[in-house]
Amino acid sequence: MAEFDTRTLQNFDHTYVWHPFTQMRDWEAEDPVVICRGEGPYLFDTDGNRYLDGIASVWTNVHGHCRREINDAVIEQVNRLEHSTLLGLANDRSAVLAKRLVETVPPGLCKVFYSDNGSTAVEIALKMAFQYQLHRGGRHARKSCFITFRNAYHGDTIGAVSVGGIDLFHGVFKPLLFRSIQAPSPYCYRCELGGTRDGNCPRHCLTELERIMADNAENIAGLIIEPLMQCAGGMIAQPPGFVAKVRELCDRYDILMIADEVAVGFGRTGAMFACEREGVTPDLMALSKGLTAGYLPLAATLATQRIYDAFLGDYSEMKTFFHGHTFTGNPVACAAALASLDLFESDHLLASLPAKMDLLEKRLAETATREHVGDVRQIGMMAGIELVVDRGSREAYPWQDRIGIAVCRHARKRGIFLRPLGNIIVVFPPLSICVEELEELMHGIESSIKDVTEGKYP
Ligand SMILES: Cc1ncc(COP(=O)(O)O)c(C=O)c1O
């Protein structure tokens, strides 16, 4: 693929591409790495350098890059049918995938509404929850508001931002947003309610959540949660039992529970879905990222029969869910998703995870003893390492220091690709990573943290 050399490609990129979540003035000042190939957990640039993909290509990759079985399924599908709409037609791949998904997700979720990215999966869940309450009628028709959590991230479309809880990303758009109520984030390391992690925490965050529900239940359509781990907000792990308690409270106050499993679904937590780990079935569930194992844009919003039934009626009753996207149910993306589900089975992927999760835990425990590591948080095959100026006082590095970026730059020199969340180093490798590669990843991360925070690297 030597059509253009690296310098030319960098020039094209600098001249024509506007990158997401990027200060482009900084970007223009550096020579970007140009990725052109992938194999297993590795990415390769146009100069032939190899990088271990420590963030699974923004939390999407499951079985490694360029898995032959998924490649074959995509090629076979492209040669048969590249796209056909779900507006007025069915297609074979989206029908089969919907059946497989319903058989895989927590019991009770039984209808699949397709879209093409995590934000739209969330938008759809919010709109379904709102319209469901409207169709119930009477006092329920007033239920139009949502509960979310501080530090929540559900995507970048306006509805998803309305239920976001990260001021840095979301603050500027406030005038465009609908109202939501933020409950405290279960950020135990920096508990905003003065709780501790010693097992005797009175869980004031849940008490406050219940108070919010009790005060506002008649106006609340639904609550949205990233179960087990708030990812983009800083890899904030929820204490055991939190998700189950949220489910219980939603039931008590007649509030729909929306589980955003866009990042944590498809094996990431060690179970197929995070909700499973707490025996919970949400009313609505948003899936994307790992759905196609990181191959193609596809998303699904799953709903219960109760919600689906509320949209049935005579056409004149206007109960139709008027929402849809051009590429809804794209058969190529569905073929990739089906091949991925097959690989979960044939590779015994879930059964292979506990050994790797144990190794990750062990290596994180070692990292946690470093002078400038304040906290490590792990759920299954994902983790966050929070860097601090001082462990005793938990003083955060000033954001202007860009310490996370410095660590990730250093790791790149060691052949490891990472992307931080502020002062938090994210560990999120493809689930198929083997033990040796995971060792390589953790060794690279730890060395980079040590060199940067202990001053051996500018
Ligand atoms: C929990 C969660 N929800 C939604 C999204 C948005 O997904 P997308 O970037 O595909 O729109 C993300 C993306 O990181 C996410 O982590």
366 CA from centroid of ligand 1 (Å): 30
pLDDT of residue 20: 97
Residue 232 Cβ < 6 Å to ligand 1: yes
Atom of ligand 1 minimally distant from the CA of 157: 11
262 CA from centroid of ligand 1 (Å): 6
- pLDDT tier at 456, thresholds 50, 70, 90: low
DSSP β-ladder status, 424-427 and 382-390: antiparallel
State yes or no: pLDDT of 23 exceeds 90: yes
Residue 262 Cβ < 6 Å to ligand 1: yes
pLDDT of residue 406: 96
What domains sit in the chain, N to C, each tagged with a CATH number?
Answer: 33-63+348-453 (3.90.1150.10), 71-346 (3.40.640.10)
Please state the three-class secondary structure of the chain as a single string: CCCCCHHHHHHHHHHHCCCCCCCHHHHHCCCCCCEEEEEECEEEECCCCEEEECCHHHHCCCCCECCHHHHHHHHHHHHHCCCCCCCCCCCHHHHHHHHHHHHHCCCCEEEEEEECCHHHHHHHHHHHHHHHHHHHCHHHHHCCEEEEECCCCCCCCHHHHHCCCCHHHHHHHHHHCCCEEEECCCCHHHCCCCCCCCCCCCCHHHHHHHHHHHHHHHHEEEEEECCCEECCCCCEECCCCHHHHHHHHHHHCCCEEEEECCCCCCCCCCCCCHHHHHCCCCCEEEECHHHHCCCCCCEEEEEEHHHHHCCCCCHHHCCCCCCCCCCCCCHHHHHHHHHHHHHHHHCCHHHHHHHHHHHHHHHHHHHCCCCCEEEEEEECCEEEEEEEEECCCCEECCHHHCHHHHHHHHHHHCCEECCCECCEEEECCCCCCCHHHHHHHHHHHHHHHHHHHCCCCC
Residue 118 Cβ < 6 Å to ligand 1: yes
Residue 163 Cβ < 6 Å to ligand 1: no
State yes or no: pLDDT of 138 exceeds 60: yes
Residue 155 Cβ < 6 Å to ligand 1: yes
Residue 115 Cβ < 6 Å to ligand 1: no
- pLDDT tier at 198, thresholds 50, 70, 90: confident
* Mean pLDDT of the residues in the chain: 96
Residue 231 Cβ < 6 Å to ligand 1: yes
pLDDT tens column, 200-233: 788 899 999 999 999 999 999 999 999 999 999 9
pLDDT of residue 283: 98
Atom of ligand 1 minimally distant from the CA of 288: 10
330 CA from centroid of ligand 1 (Å): 19
Pocket test of ligand 1: the residue of 225, 289, 291 to mutate, having most ligand atoms within 8 Å of its CB, is: 289
- pLDDT tier at 73, thresholds 50, 70, 90: very high
Residue 428 Cβ < 6 Å to ligand 1: no
State yes or no: pLDDT of 70 exceeds 80: yes
Residue 263 Cβ < 6 Å to ligand 1: yes
Pocket test of ligand 1: the residue of 19, 58, 119, 291 to mutate, having most ligand atoms within 8 Å of its CB, is: 119
pLDDT tens column, 405-417: 999 999 999 999 9
pLDDT tens column, 294-337: 999 999 999 999 999 999 999 999 999 999 999 999 999 999 99
State yes or no: pLDDT of 163 exceeds 90: yes
Residue 288 Cβ < 6 Å to ligand 1: yes
pLDDT of residue 197: 80
Residue 378 Cβ < 6 Å to ligand 1: no
pLDDT of residue 237: 97
State yes or no: pLDDT of 170 exceeds 90: no
What is the rounded average pLDDT of the residues 15-41?
A: 97
CA distances (Å), origin 258, targets 84, 144, 187, 280, 285: 29, 14, 20, 11, 6
